[in-house]
Amino acid sequence: MESASQLYPENPKKNILLVGTPGTGKTTLAKRIAAVTSLTHLEVGKFAEEHNCLGSYDEQLDCFEIEEEKLIPLLVNALKPGGFLVEYHGCEWLASCKIDLVLVLQTETAPLYDRLKARGYSGRKLEENMECEIMQIILDEAYSFFDEKLIWVVPSNNEQDLEENVERVKRFLET
Ligand SMILES: Nc1ncnc2c1ncn2[C@@H]1O[C@H](COP(=O)(O)OP(=O)(O)O)[C@@H](O)[C@H]1O
Ligand SMILES: [Mg+2]
């Protein structure tokens, strides 16, 4: 007699991709979700660092370049088993990964501005991030790389939104 794993070789565990402009609350939500579900939080920037995919330091953008040719296959492989809550500001590099839901966080300009200020952003960096949110750059990117049926756009302005987003994800995992 065939075992269940032979009959159903696919692993049913889901991966959720959490995207949004810096400051929209991805890490905060990811930590809350990881605390109440079986999903493991995978922050793409940290993953890139741990897997030696960082290139040279970009003075203008104030961050390290990431060697995407090296990173993408590692991500594809790591995410194959499912069970991850993947956090990154954009989703292009995740396009060929197993992703079952893309959650796009959106924050109104006033609270986002305050959060980025509190993080110490100023000048061009602050402006660019505000513009990114206002122009819905991350949302457009999600629609260009993933099927719209997989994309949920959710508000992330306050504590109530946070609670509701945790509940949304719990319900999604139960289906
Ligand atoms: N739903 C929310 N309501 C109010 N403040 C929030 C919310 N989500 C995040 N924050 C705050 O906004 C700031 C940025 O959150 P963070 O999770 O680091 O964003 P990201 O990972 O998207 O850059 C933090 O100070 C965090 O406490
Ligand atoms: Mg973060």
Residue 120 annotated as binding site: no
For ligand 1, atom 7, the nearest C-alpha belongs to 25
By the 10 Å C-beta count (0-12 exposed, 13-18 middle, 19+ buried), 5 is classed as: exposed
- CA 143 – ligand 2 centroid, Å: 21
pLDDT digits 0-9 by tens, 131-156 = 999 999 999 999 999 999 999 999 99
CATH superfamily of 14-174: P-loop containing nucleotide triphosphate hydrolases (3.40.50.300)
What are the φ and ψ backbone dihedral angles of 80, each rounded to 5 degrees?
-50, -45
pTM (whole model) above 0.75: yes
- CA 28 – ligand 1 centroid, Å: 5
- Average pLDDT of the residues in 68-95: 96
Residue 46 annotated as binding site: no
The pLDDT assigned to 58 comes to 87
pLDDT digits 0-9 by tens, 27-39 = 999 999 999 999 9
Which of 77, 97, 89 is CA-nearest to residue 44?
89
106, containing H or E segment: strand 101-106
Domain chopping of the chain, boundaries: 14-174
Dihedral sign of CA atoms 83, 85, 86, 91 in order: positive
Mean pLDDT score of the chain, rounded to an integer? 93
- Residues in the ligand 1 pocket, defined by CB under 6 Å: 20, 22-28, 115, 156, 158-159, 161-162
